Structure 1
Amino acid sequence: MSTPDRTDLARIRYETAKDLFERGQYRDAVTLLDQACALVDRGTPLGGEIQIWLVTAYQAVGDLKAATRLCRKLSRHPHITTRQQSRRLLAILEAPRLAMRPEWNVNIPDLSSLEESTASDRKGSNRPLKRKPRPLPPPKPIDPSEINTQDNRFVWVALLASLAILSSLLWLA
């Protein structure tokens, strides 16, 4: 296999691995990123980018030792951007874990059983449940005696001010 073919294959596996990672399939992403690393020169910018994603995937899987080891190796990468990113990730990976009180955590309930029960309640209907919107209350009528109909002479003041400005401009010209 020639080098451009290997690079194209590595790029395809890399993009597929990113999609899998973003969908939460971390183990599959690690596998594809490992394969992409084997196909590309690790010292290139693409190789560094793939390895940075591999560090993140290792962390998502829970393999912090492999993530830290690879991150340390990447801190000596020839590409400066990869070195910077690896140093930032290494600082995150080596940061001390904070003790968290239980009331700080939010427990998200499992709603899969709820979805099954509502589906059985519909008796085979695949239509989503629709609620009828409540009608809006009619607007309150406006009492004509509360409307301010008195002229506050703002228009006349603005007109006089604009005439004064225009006349002074003409006088200066």
Structure 2
Amino acid sequence: MNSETLELVRTEYEAGKIAFESGQYRQSVQHLQKASALVERTSSLGGDVQIWLVTAYEAAGQRAEAIALCNQLTHHPHLDTRKQGRRLLYILEAPRLNTRPEWLVQIPDLTALEESEANARQTSIPPAKSSKSQRPKAEVEPVDLSQVNTKDNRFIWLALIVTVLTLGSLLLMSR
């Protein structure tokens, strides 16, 4: 493989990882597929690209492709790639657990937020005040100090004695 091809593979590989980490799974799959097509699949770099491609397939909802590629990776010449391929295959083939809707956290789609912020910057409209400043402040009720229990319950002395005894016994046992 010449240096131009290697540089292109690394560029596509890094672009795929960046797209994956930013949640753009379909673009990640595209970049990683390009890198995988250009790299020698039996090399260490080829194994790394394919491992990332498995995770991108799974994140993009292409589970069948991810499992098929994992099956291939279990026979990869590099030991680390084989191990990781087996681990990923084990995870992908594990049965799915039934979840209740109340167990899940819905992550809002923030793409519209990014677009609206870009539009706001272009039109130079001052940003809206945060909702914290618009809420009415809750009044704090004063505490009646006559109702507070200030009687000494000797807890500190008990804790101090237990600590000294514990340290003393540890010191004696260490000799």
TM-score, structure 2 as length reference? 0.63
Which residue of structure 2 aligns with residue 129 of structure 1?
A: 129
Count of aligned residue pairs for this structure pair: 126
Deviation at 1:108, TM superposition (A): 4.6
Which residue of structure 2 aligns with residue 63 of structure 1?
A: 62
Give the letter for the 1:7 counterpart.
Answer: L
| 1:1-173 map, 5 Å | 3-108=2-107, 125-127=125-127, 129=129, 131=133
State which structure, 1 or 2, has the greater radius of gyration over its C-alpha atoms: 1
Q: Give the Cα–Cα distance (whole angstroms) in 2 for the partners of residues 45 and 97 of structure 1.
A: 31
Tell me, which stretches of 5 or more residues in structure 1 are unaligned?
A: 135-173
Q: Give the Cα–Cα distance (whole angstroms) in 2 for the partners of residues 104 and 30 of structure 1.
A: 29
Give the letter for the 2:105 counterpart.
Answer: V
Alpha-carbon distance change, 103 to 19 in structure 1, aligned in 2, over 3 angstroms: same
Q: Give the Cα–Cα distance (whole angstroms) in 2 for the partners of residues 37 and 110 of structure 1.
A: 30
Structure 1 segments (4+ residues) deviating >4 Å? 108-113
Deviation at 1:102, TM superposition (A): 2.6
Deviation at 1:103, TM superposition (A): 2.4
Alpha-carbon distance change, 69 to 108 in structure 1, aligned in 2, over 3 angstroms: closer
RMSD: 2.9
Identity %: 49
Q: Give the Cα–Cα distance (whole angstroms) in 2 for the partners of residues 110 and 70 of structure 1.
A: 30
Give the letter for the 1:96 counterpart.
Answer: P
Q: Give the Cα–Cα distance (whole angstroms) in 1 for the partners of residues 66 and 9 of structure 2.
A: 20
TM-score, structure 1 as length reference? 0.64
